[in-house]
Protein backbone atom coordinates (compact mmCIF):
# COMPACT_ATOMS: atom_id res chain seq x y z
CA UNK A 1 0.00 0.00 0.00
CA UNK A 2 1.24 3.47 -0.79
CA UNK A 3 0.40 5.34 2.38
CA UNK A 4 -0.31 9.02 1.89
CA UNK A 5 -2.55 9.45 4.89
CA UNK A 6 -1.77 8.34 8.43
CA UNK A 7 -2.97 10.10 11.52
CA UNK A 8 -2.99 9.43 15.21
CA UNK A 9 -6.57 9.06 16.42
CA UNK A 10 -6.09 8.60 20.14
CA UNK A 11 -3.59 7.71 22.83
CA UNK A 12 -5.62 5.46 25.11
CA UNK A 13 -4.63 4.76 28.70
CA UNK A 14 -7.98 3.11 29.48
CA UNK A 15 -10.03 0.63 27.48
CA UNK A 16 -13.00 3.00 27.65
CA UNK A 17 -10.97 5.31 25.39
CA UNK A 18 -10.57 2.78 22.56
CA UNK A 19 -12.08 4.36 19.44
CA UNK A 20 -15.27 3.14 17.78
CA UNK A 21 -14.87 2.49 14.04
CA UNK A 22 -15.28 -0.31 11.53
CA UNK A 23 -11.81 -0.67 10.03
CA UNK A 24 -9.75 -3.82 10.64
CA UNK A 25 -7.10 -3.35 13.32
CA UNK A 26 -3.49 -4.47 13.07
CA UNK A 27 -1.72 -4.45 16.43
CA UNK A 28 2.04 -4.19 17.00
CA UNK A 29 3.65 -5.61 20.14
CA UNK A 30 7.22 -5.98 21.35
CA UNK A 31 9.80 -5.30 23.98
CA UNK A 32 10.80 -1.67 24.61
CA UNK A 33 13.48 -0.53 22.21
CA UNK A 34 12.81 -3.36 19.74
CA UNK A 35 12.27 -0.79 16.97
CA UNK A 36 8.46 -0.63 16.98
CA UNK A 37 8.13 3.13 16.49
CA UNK A 38 10.75 3.03 13.75
CA UNK A 39 8.91 0.19 12.01
CA UNK A 40 5.58 2.03 12.22
CA UNK A 41 7.13 5.17 10.77
CA UNK A 42 8.74 3.13 7.98
CA UNK A 43 5.46 1.35 7.17
CA UNK A 44 3.58 4.65 7.15
CA UNK A 45 6.14 6.66 5.16
CA UNK A 46 6.58 9.09 8.01
CA UNK A 47 9.60 10.33 9.88
CA UNK A 48 8.18 10.76 13.35
CA UNK A 49 4.48 9.92 13.53
CA UNK A 50 5.15 7.24 16.11
CA UNK A 51 7.63 8.59 18.60
CA UNK A 52 10.87 6.69 18.95
CA UNK A 53 11.52 6.14 22.59
CA UNK A 54 13.65 8.53 24.60
CA UNK A 55 12.26 6.99 27.78
CA UNK A 56 11.81 3.32 27.05
CA UNK A 57 9.02 1.60 28.89
CA UNK A 58 7.44 4.81 30.04
CA UNK A 59 4.54 4.96 27.64
CA UNK A 60 1.74 2.85 29.07
CA UNK A 61 -0.77 3.74 26.41
CA UNK A 62 -2.25 2.14 23.33
CA UNK A 63 -1.98 4.45 20.32
CA UNK A 64 -4.40 4.18 17.41
CA UNK A 65 -3.49 5.37 13.89
CA UNK A 66 -5.90 5.72 11.02
CA UNK A 67 -4.05 4.49 7.94
CA UNK A 68 -5.54 5.60 4.64
CA UNK A 69 -9.08 5.19 6.07
CA UNK A 70 -8.47 1.48 5.45
CA UNK A 71 -6.73 0.10 8.53
CA UNK A 72 -6.31 1.11 12.12
CA UNK A 73 -2.74 0.47 13.26
CA UNK A 74 -2.55 -0.12 16.98
CA UNK A 75 0.71 0.50 18.83
CA UNK A 76 0.70 -1.57 22.02
CA UNK A 77 2.92 -0.40 24.89
CA UNK A 78 6.37 -2.03 25.03
CA UNK A 79 7.31 -4.51 27.73
CA UNK A 80 10.41 -5.78 29.46
CA UNK A 81 11.78 -2.53 30.74
CA UNK A 82 13.41 -3.27 34.10
CA UNK A 83 12.75 0.06 35.78
CA UNK A 84 8.97 -0.15 35.56
CA UNK A 85 7.21 -0.43 38.93
CA UNK A 86 4.97 -3.36 39.84
CA UNK A 87 1.90 -1.12 39.71
CA UNK A 88 2.81 0.05 36.22
CA UNK A 89 3.41 -3.52 35.09
CA UNK A 90 -0.01 -4.55 36.36
CA UNK A 91 -1.61 -1.59 34.64
CA UNK A 92 0.17 -2.59 31.43
CA UNK A 93 -1.15 -6.16 31.75
CA UNK A 94 -4.73 -5.04 32.29
CA UNK A 95 -4.65 -2.60 29.41
CA UNK A 96 -3.21 -5.11 26.94
CA UNK A 97 -5.40 -7.94 28.11
CA UNK A 98 -8.48 -5.73 27.83
CA UNK A 99 -7.45 -5.02 24.28
CA UNK A 100 -6.52 -8.55 23.14
CA UNK A 101 -9.50 -10.16 24.76
CA UNK A 102 -12.31 -7.89 23.69
CA UNK A 103 -11.37 -6.25 20.43
CA UNK A 104 -13.48 -7.83 17.72
CA UNK A 105 -12.03 -5.83 14.85
CA UNK A 106 -8.49 -6.95 15.75
CA UNK A 107 -7.45 -8.95 12.69
CA UNK A 108 -3.69 -9.36 12.92
CA UNK A 109 -1.08 -9.12 15.61
CA UNK A 110 2.51 -8.43 14.75
CA UNK A 111 5.10 -9.36 17.36
CA UNK A 112 8.49 -7.69 17.01
CA UNK A 113 11.73 -9.38 18.06
CA UNK A 114 15.22 -7.86 17.70
CA UNK A 115 17.04 -10.11 15.23
CA UNK A 116 20.28 -9.82 17.22
CA UNK A 117 18.94 -11.02 20.55
CA UNK A 118 17.89 -14.31 22.07
CA UNK A 119 14.15 -14.62 22.51
CA UNK A 120 13.38 -13.60 26.12
CA UNK A 121 10.82 -14.91 28.59
CA UNK A 122 8.76 -11.76 28.10
CA UNK A 123 8.68 -12.41 24.37
CA UNK A 124 7.57 -15.99 24.92
CA UNK A 125 4.86 -14.88 27.30
CA UNK A 126 3.64 -12.32 24.82
CA UNK A 127 3.62 -14.88 22.02
CA UNK A 128 1.67 -17.38 24.14
CA UNK A 129 -0.71 -14.68 25.22
CA UNK A 130 -1.41 -13.64 21.63
CA UNK A 131 -1.82 -17.29 20.62
CA UNK A 132 -4.34 -17.74 23.38
CA UNK A 133 -6.65 -15.14 21.84
CA UNK A 134 -5.81 -15.43 18.14
CA UNK A 135 -4.50 -18.34 16.19
CA UNK A 136 -2.11 -16.47 13.99
CA UNK A 137 0.87 -14.39 14.94
CA UNK A 138 3.11 -12.54 12.53
CA UNK A 139 6.62 -12.26 13.91
CA UNK A 140 8.87 -9.53 12.60
CA UNK A 141 12.62 -9.73 13.23
CA UNK A 142 13.71 -6.08 13.46
CA UNK A 143 17.03 -4.30 12.80
CA UNK A 144 18.06 -6.79 10.15
CA UNK A 145 20.68 -4.33 8.84
CA UNK A 146 22.60 -4.79 12.10
CA UNK A 147 23.72 -8.32 11.30
CA UNK A 148 25.67 -9.74 8.39
CA UNK A 149 23.58 -10.99 5.52
CA UNK A 150 25.18 -14.43 5.89
CA UNK A 151 23.87 -14.63 9.49
CA UNK A 152 20.24 -13.73 8.75
CA UNK A 153 18.89 -17.26 8.22
CA UNK A 154 20.61 -18.53 11.35
CA UNK A 155 19.08 -15.75 13.45
CA UNK A 156 15.64 -16.24 11.93
CA UNK A 157 15.68 -19.93 12.80
CA UNK A 158 16.83 -19.08 16.34
CA UNK A 159 13.74 -16.91 16.70
CA UNK A 160 11.50 -19.59 15.20
CA UNK A 161 12.89 -22.11 17.67
CA UNK A 162 13.00 -19.72 20.63
CA UNK A 163 9.32 -18.85 20.31
CA UNK A 164 8.39 -22.35 19.23
CA UNK A 165 6.52 -20.90 16.26
CA UNK A 166 3.74 -22.92 14.67
CA UNK A 167 3.90 -23.63 10.95
CA UNK A 168 1.10 -21.11 10.30
CA UNK A 169 2.99 -18.26 11.99
CA UNK A 170 4.78 -16.01 9.56
CA UNK A 171 8.29 -14.68 10.22
CA UNK A 172 9.55 -11.64 8.33
CA UNK A 173 12.94 -9.92 8.52
CA UNK A 174 12.72 -6.13 8.63
CA UNK A 175 14.93 -3.07 8.67
CA UNK A 176 13.64 0.44 9.24
CA UNK A 177 16.97 1.73 7.97
CA UNK A 178 16.96 -0.02 4.59
CA UNK A 179 13.16 -0.64 4.45
CA UNK A 180 13.89 -4.30 3.76
CA UNK A 181 10.81 -6.41 4.52
CA UNK A 182 8.41 -3.49 4.16
CA UNK A 183 6.75 -4.79 0.98
CA UNK A 184 6.45 -8.28 2.42
CA UNK A 185 4.87 -7.05 5.64
CA UNK A 186 2.40 -4.88 3.75
CA UNK A 187 1.48 -7.86 1.59
CA UNK A 188 0.68 -9.90 4.70
CA UNK A 189 -1.41 -7.06 6.16
CA UNK A 190 -3.30 -6.61 2.91
CA UNK A 191 -4.36 -10.26 2.91
CA UNK A 192 -7.02 -9.23 5.42
CA UNK A 193 -9.29 -7.81 2.79
CA UNK A 194 -9.40 -11.17 1.09
CA UNK A 195 -10.35 -12.97 4.30
P1 LIG B 1 10.63 1.18 20.29
O2 LIG B 1 10.99 1.48 21.71
O3 LIG B 1 10.32 -0.25 20.10
O4 LIG B 1 9.60 2.10 19.69
O5 LIG B 1 12.00 1.37 19.45
P6 LIG B 1 12.50 2.58 18.55
O7 LIG B 1 11.82 2.57 17.23
O8 LIG B 1 12.47 3.82 19.35
O9 LIG B 1 14.02 2.12 18.27
C10 LIG B 1 14.94 1.91 19.32
C11 LIG B 1 16.34 2.24 18.80
O12 LIG B 1 16.71 1.31 17.77
C13 LIG B 1 16.46 3.61 18.17
O14 LIG B 1 17.72 4.14 18.48
C15 LIG B 1 16.34 3.34 16.67
O16 LIG B 1 17.01 4.31 15.89
C17 LIG B 1 16.99 1.98 16.54
N18 LIG B 1 16.41 1.21 15.42
C19 LIG B 1 15.12 0.89 15.27
N20 LIG B 1 14.93 0.16 14.15
C21 LIG B 1 16.15 0.02 13.56
C22 LIG B 1 16.61 -0.66 12.37
O23 LIG B 1 15.87 -1.28 11.61
N24 LIG B 1 17.95 -0.59 12.12
C25 LIG B 1 18.82 0.06 12.94
N26 LIG B 1 20.12 0.06 12.61
N27 LIG B 1 18.42 0.69 14.06
C28 LIG B 1 17.11 0.69 14.38
How many CB atoms sit inside 10 A of residue 99's CB? 21
Does 84 score more than 90 pLDDT? no
Residue owning the nearest CA to atom 17 of ligand 1: 35
Does 92 score more than 90 pLDDT? no
Lowest average pLDDT, out of 30-39, 89-98, 182-191, goes to: 89-98
Is 54 a domain residue?
yes
Q: Containing domain of residue 173, as a range?
A: 6-194
The beta-strand segments (E) located in the chain are 6-12, 25-30, 62-67, 71-75, 106-114, 138-142, 170-173
Q: What is the mean pLDDT of the chain?
A: 91
Instruction: Work out how many domains the chain is built from and give that number.
Output: 1
Is 1 a domain residue?
no
**Nearest by Cα to 37 from 63, 3, 12, 4:** 63
The reported pTM is: 0.94
Q: How far is the CA of 107 from the centre of ligand 1 (A)?
A: 25
Q: How far is the CA of 16 from the centre of ligand 1 (A)?
A: 30
Q: How far apart, in whole angstroms, are the C-alpha atoms of residue 189 and residue 195?
A: 11
CATH assignment at residue 52: 3.40.50.300
Is 19 a domain residue?
yes
The CA-atom distances, in angstroms, between 178 and each of 146, 150, 175 are 11, 17, 5
For 108-149, write each residue's pLDDT tens digit: 999 999 999 999 999 999 999 999 988 789 999 999 999 999
Amino acid sequence: MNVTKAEMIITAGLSSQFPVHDMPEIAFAGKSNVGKSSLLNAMLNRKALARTSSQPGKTQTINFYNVQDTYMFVDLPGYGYAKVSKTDRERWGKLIEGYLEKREQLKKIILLIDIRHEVGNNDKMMYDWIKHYHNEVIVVATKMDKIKRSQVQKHLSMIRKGLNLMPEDKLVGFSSETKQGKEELWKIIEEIQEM
